[in-house]
Amino acid sequence: MKKIELEIVALSHSITQTHSYAVVLGEINGTRRVPIVIVGFEAQAIAVALEKMNTTRPLTHDLMKNFMIAFDVELNEIIINDVQEGVFFSTLICSSSNDTVSIDSRTSDALALAVRFGCPIFTYENVLIKAGVLIGGDSGKIASSSVTTETGGKEDLKSMSMNDLNELLTEVLENEDYIKAISIRDELKRRNNKSQKK
């Protein structure tokens, strides 16, 4: 399966949900974005590494990096290889002088390590189809996801027309409110699935 390289394009705080953030991955040389909901600790771990901030004591991911370096283990790449019911699955590809291994990881942890090691982030087309959002162009062409990000406000989305939802999706993406974009994407997916069953 062909790997598609991604980069971190934004960390967005949820306006609608306390203590939730989205790390937004963008397709390199492409227009698709993958927002992944994470909690504050993981957002902080990624932000600290992105901003190259020095902490007084090592954070958990710094400790992990130091441990890997001490034992001559290199993080070559991370691969976001699946998404199921809104949960992303990732693999760390690590190597030492005599072996290369794949290690299962939470995606937020994998991203925090990728930033620290400066290694590439990859995914596959099936993940982009399930969880991607198209930026620019035809906003009606969005991919699906099952991420549930908020309990309130879903009734409002259910009462909107498909055109209104697509317009709102364009608006929230322009404002970089990726948490709300996930909810709108879910509602559009639900309706598309319902119309296909008829």
* pLDDT digit string, tens, across residues 165-196: 888 888 877 775 656 776 787 788 788 877 77
Encode pLDDT of 33-68 as tens digits: 998 988 888 888 888 888 887 778 888 999 999 999
- What are the sequence ranges of the domains in the chain? 1-198
pLDDT single digits (tens) 76-108:
999 999 999 889 999 999 999 999 999 999 999
- Asked whether the CA dihedral 127, 131, 137, 139 is positive or negative, the reply is positive
- Higher model confidence: residue 1 or residue 5? 5
Tokens matching residue 135: 């930026």
Q: Taking the domain 1-198, which CATH number applies? A: 3.10.690.10
The dihedral sign for the CA sequence 147, 174, 24, 14 = negative
* DSSP result, 20-45: EEEEEEEETTS-EEEEEEEEHHHHHH
